[in-house]
Amino acid sequence: MDFEKQARELVSKMTLEERASQLRFDAPAIKHLDIPRYHWWNEALHGVARAGTATMFPQAIGLAAMFDPEEMHKIGDIVATEARAKYNAYSEEEDRDIYKGLTLWSPNVNIFRDPRWGRGQETYGEDPYLTSVLGVEFIKGMQGDGKYLKAAACAKHFAVHSGPEELRHEFDAVVSDKDLWETYLPAFEACVKEAKVEGVMGAYNRTNGEPCCGSKLLMQDILKDKWHFDGYFTSDCWAIKDFHENHQVTTTATESVALALKMGCDINCGNIYLKVMQAYQEGLVTEEDITEAAVHAMRTRLRLGLFADDCEYDKIPYDVIACKEHREEAIKTAENSVVLLKNEGILPLSKDLKKLALIGPNADSRWPLIANYHGTAPKYVTVLDGIEEVAPDVRIHYSEGCHTMLDRVERLALADDRVAEAVAVAKTAGLAVVCVGLDERYEGEQQDNGNRFGGGEVSMADKPTTALPDSQIHMLEAVIKTGVDIVIVNMTGSAVELKWLQDTPNVKAIVQGWYPGGEGGLAIARILFGDVNPSGKLPITFYESAEGMPSFTDYAMKGRTYRYMEVPALYPFGYGLSYTDYEYSDLKTETGEGGVKVTVTVENKGSWDGDEVVELYMKDLDSEYEVRNHRLAAFERVALKAGEKKTVTLHLGEKAFQIVDDGGNRRKDGSRFAVYVGGSQPDDRSVELLGKKPLSVEIEY
């Protein structure tokens, strides 16, 4: 269908004032055209958010740890299905409020370049290739392949945006052409060109001097002219007023309106587009500027079938929301996201244990399940709940141990008021699972405008340090001192300092549980007791500490992430243990038209069924422009029963053999390439932790 033509015809019937009104995020009804009110702002980062009950998947960073594009597609489809069901039901009641539309402002494909960034949990990690592949499949699943869009995804925040949160309204992210095109733009380009994402959201900050929601370079030269984006562009919420209030690139509100509108910002999340007509009267914008933005807005609504009688999604019933099938899928994704970081033979735990101490602020709390941008789960299963379900005959001695952040649980008590209890239950049981970490109150988005929550006594955004909070360190030190064997379950959306726990003899295992979703405690329990074999891999680097890292405000990639870091990691990107052992053999390459086919045999040599993520890394051996270390170029998740072997085929297209030079040009610049295939990176630390090297071969292409 020619949605562009339909949009132009529809907009031609509107007055100029009506066209301007449709650029607001809370677009009013136009009764004489039978256009109902529509609210553009909706969230669906890991399930439909902020609009009542919905299936709650693990936070995005946990989803990334699955390394599973097929599953990301399925999640996107489930999210869109539930968003449609809600939209259909709410529209029948004429409820067209915020968070109830079909323009879902997800995924966040920014690069998690610094572990201190609070919003890094919303991303797919630190690697541009992984982020691109997962983002594309999530969008394709969400938008569907029907006559109309099932839902309209939105790639955000365009571009070069990853903290610091407290400075975002005034910050200028200065970046080289090489880093821009090699690191910060590839995922957005893939979302636009491969996934045909319907929406793009601009970031709050400036990039190289231009505010991202009014940037000629980003919005005109790259997004429209180079990538031929034909969806709608929205500002981040209240970002346009930053033009004159904080960035000071304009002097008045109407000048800010004009800059955004002329650069191609169609929808304003905020209220400054209430001044569009004033900007028109002042001669700052033209009728054509307003009309074009209105056409883009209506084109998206038409693509969603919102004015159609034959939309295939109008009959999706309400009872699909948080149905059994969707909830089981969410638990499965949580299981597949958990990363086993350390295991000295203690895991899996036996269900014949007589007793177990379960300690820590995240052991029986809903907070670490939900992450930010969350909906309401129909059921919450904490780690304590999960263990009681999975191992009902084990006597659990539970202690909160400490507050997540504060120095005491009870306001009138002395500091460390739950530590003695933690010690007592550890001694009583003789074995302790200690659940530590953070939650959305302590790492997340800057709490302003529409992003406030009732966080209680402490609220943070970025982390001032990558260390665990002092309250938890004090508790851990006391429990460690008992000498009992300890399993750590770390629930965070980012890397924290775990080296001291890795090096502690009676800390026998460390599990990274992320923010695992509404019933994620069940998934963690199933991992701990061996119902599920852990298979997640880290989508970010766990550094030994933040000491010596580049400044948080430095956007150069030098010294950052696995591609450019200059010191050994604690736990490298791509790393993750299993209860079984995978052996790689018979690595072969075959050069053909359009790229290279790589095959490798993977065998499950252990006694546990499991999933392995086959990772392929590359390095151009000739080019001075290649990344410092190596880069992920292909991967595949494969299921293998105990004793089973499979041949896995990976494809390297022309782009895999290209570098990005200092001018930002992507091109081929060498003929000799190292290819590494295995269950990890080829770095020394991964080899040390796993006791094996990936297979490698040098090829010419």
Q: Write out the catalytic residue numbers.
A: 236
Q: Which two tokens stand for residue 35?
A: 């256009």
How many helices (H) and strands (E) are present in the chain, helices listed first? 20, 23
Q: How many Cβ atoms sit within 10 Å of the Cβ of residue 298?
A: 27
Structure tokens at 357: 């101490």
Contact criterion met (CB below 8 Å) for 232 and 198? yes
Q: How far apart are CA 2 and CA 71, in angstroms?
A: 32
β-strand pairing of 658-660 with 666-668? antiparallel
Contacts of 695 (CB under 8 A, 6+ apart): 584, 585, 587, 600, 676, 677, 678
Q: 552 to each of 294, 496, 628, how far by Cα in Å?
A: 39, 16, 20
Question: Cα–Cα distance between 699 and 678 in angstroms, integer?
Answer: 17
Tell me the β-bridge partners of 355: 395
Q: Which residue type sits at 650?
A: L
Q: How far apart are CA 634 and CA 614, in angstroms?
A: 8
**What torsion do the CA atoms of 519, 522, 523, 529 make, to the nearest 10 degrees?**
170
Residue 386 CA from chain centroid, whole number: 25
Q: What are 568's two structure tokens? A: 């050994």
How far apart are alpha carbons 208 and 159 in whole angstroms?
Answer: 11
- Please compute, for residue 396, the number of CA atoms within 13 A of its CA located in the half-sphere on the CB side: 22
Contact 261, 293 (CB under 8 A): yes
Give the distance, in angstroms, between the CA of residue 440 and the centroid of all CA atoms in the same chain.
14
DSSP state of 451: G
The rounded distance, in Å, linking the Cα atoms of 334 and 327 is 11
Give the span between the Cα atoms of 572 and 680, in whole angstroms.
Answer: 8
Among candidates 594, 591, 598, 593, which has minimal Cα distance to 615? 598
Q: CA 647, CA 122: separation in Å to the nearest integer?
A: 34
